[in-house]
Amino acid sequence: MLRRKFIVKTAASLPIFMSIPSVMASSTDFDLKTYMEELRELVSIDSKSHYEEGVNRIAKIMADRFKSIGWTVKVRYLKGLGDMVIATNKPNLKSYDVIFSAHYDTVQSVGNAAKYPFRLKGNIAYGAGVADDKSSLNAVWWICKNLPADVNKKLNIAVLLNPGEETGSPEAKTVLMEEGAKAKYALVYEPGRPGNGCVRSRKGAMYLAVHFKGLAAHAGNNPKEGRNAIEAMALAIPKIKAVEDKYPDVTLNADIVKGGTTSNTIAEDAMVGFDFRFFNDKSRDAVLKDVEELCNKGFAPGVTATLKPSNKGSALARTEKTDALIAIVDRAAKELGQTQMKWLDVGGASDGNDLSGAGATVVCGMGVVGGDLHHPEKEWSDMSTVKPRVELGRKILELMAKEKS
């Protein structure tokens, strides 16, 4: 209850827009002033991952908007995260030509919406969570809300709004995989990168823990009867690390070690964890097999090694199909007279990884250009890029509709 009061007070006390540069206000049916009023409201709501009260307020705003334009809206509650909104432009769709994906959870602590409210300096908007991902979330709405009738008729479109993107939660992943499997294309509205950047591939990530079991013995009385798990772990680390050299763009980095009990005991247990990243799922599977084989062979006599992989993710892989989607985006930009996109390969994962893992052809970073993500005070979103990115999204749909007919 206290929190609720806090939020209401915060929203009411936010400043009204001071001035909007006239160059940005000109548009056809896109209205930057309305867009920014909506964005201001979204930024005024604390929606840290797992803070269901705030997350669900945004879910409701988005669900109501899509209902208001006649879309079919399904709300799925994800335990511990809040409501996921799945909106489709037609009822009972079994497959999609394209998914638009965005998220409304943030990494910003509850209270940051009041401390770092929406504010404008020239074309740049600031505020906690403004770039990741609220401005792009709102851009998805503007792309979908006034679609030409023939595009709406020809294409099956789904909008997938995640309440827990920042957590990489298994609950959200399950839904993303289910929905991604129905889609030909997915456009992920994470923030665009400075310099008109979009993302064509993202590394997948997972975690590899290797547990070692030896035999405890007294280090003074009978050390030879012991089997030292820490020594086996020390031998294992470079051998496991060397697996990365066999595959392009794979990284394995030991980041946690644990082991031993007391200073006079031969260590019976040890463990090393590796952060594991990869640009395609074939490399992922090959590395898993290699590390498993090394563990089965063992690293020192009398010490067993057991691999326990977790958080198995997919890469957002660049394939020939990705290049075909990129060609559509580039053509859309060209037809609009926009600067060509700069296509980037990046290390961090997004919902695009799961959608790609499910079989959709994905590009990411399609949203409003922003930066200093996750920094409550510095995080910024460039309002001069909203209209171009909204128009680009619509033009992409027009081209996809043409391609289909």
CB of 261 to Zn ion, least distance (A): 42
Cβ proximity to Zn ion: between 48 and 227 the closer is 48
CB of 119 to Zn ion, least distance (A): 21
CB of 168 to Zn ion, least distance (A): 11
The neighbouring-strand residues paired with 265 are 218
Cβ proximity to Zn ion: between 179 and 190 the closer is 190
Cβ proximity to Zn ion: between 152 and 381 the closer is 381
Selection from 402, 330, 397 nearest residue 144 by Cα: 397
The neighbouring-strand residues paired with 362 are 186
Cβ proximity to Zn ion: between 131 and 217 the closer is 131
CB of 130 to Zn ion, least distance (A): 12
Annotate 267-333 with DSSP letters as a single string. --EEEEEEEEEESSHHHHHHHHHHHHHHHHH-SBTTBEEEEEEES----B---HHHHHHHHHHHHHH
CB of 351 to Zn ion, least distance (A): 8
Cβ proximity to Zn ion: between 118 and 299 the closer is 118
CB of 377 to Zn ion, least distance (A): 18
Cβ proximity to Zn ion: between 46 and 133 the closer is 133
The neighbouring-strand residues paired with 76 are 84
Q: What are phi and psi for residue 190, nearest 5 degrees? A: -80, 165
CB of 249 to Zn ion, least distance (A): 22
Cβ proximity to Zn ion: between 190 and 382 the closer is 190
**b/e code 236-271 from CB counts within 10 Å (16+ = b):** bbeebeebbeebeebbbebeeeebeeeeebbbbbbb
CB of 218 to Zn ion, least distance (A): 53
Where would I find the beta strands (DSSP E) of 141-250? 157-162, 183-188, 197-202, 204-213
CA distance linking residue 44 with residue 114, whole number of Å: 7
Cβ proximity to Zn ion: between 183 and 188 the closer is 188
CA distance linking residue 120 with residue 99, whole number of Å: 31
**Residues ≥6 apart with Cβ < 8 Å to 179:** 86, 96, 99, 158, 160, 355, 358
50: left (phi over 0), alpha (psi -120 to 50) or beta: left
Cβ proximity to Zn ion: between 62 and 252 the closer is 62
Q: Which residues bind Zn ion (CB under 5 A)?
A: 132-133, 190
**Residues ≥6 apart with Cβ < 8 Å to 71:** 87, 88, 89, 144, 159
CA distance linking residue 382 with residue 359, whole number of Å: 32
CB of 103 to Zn ion, least distance (A): 6
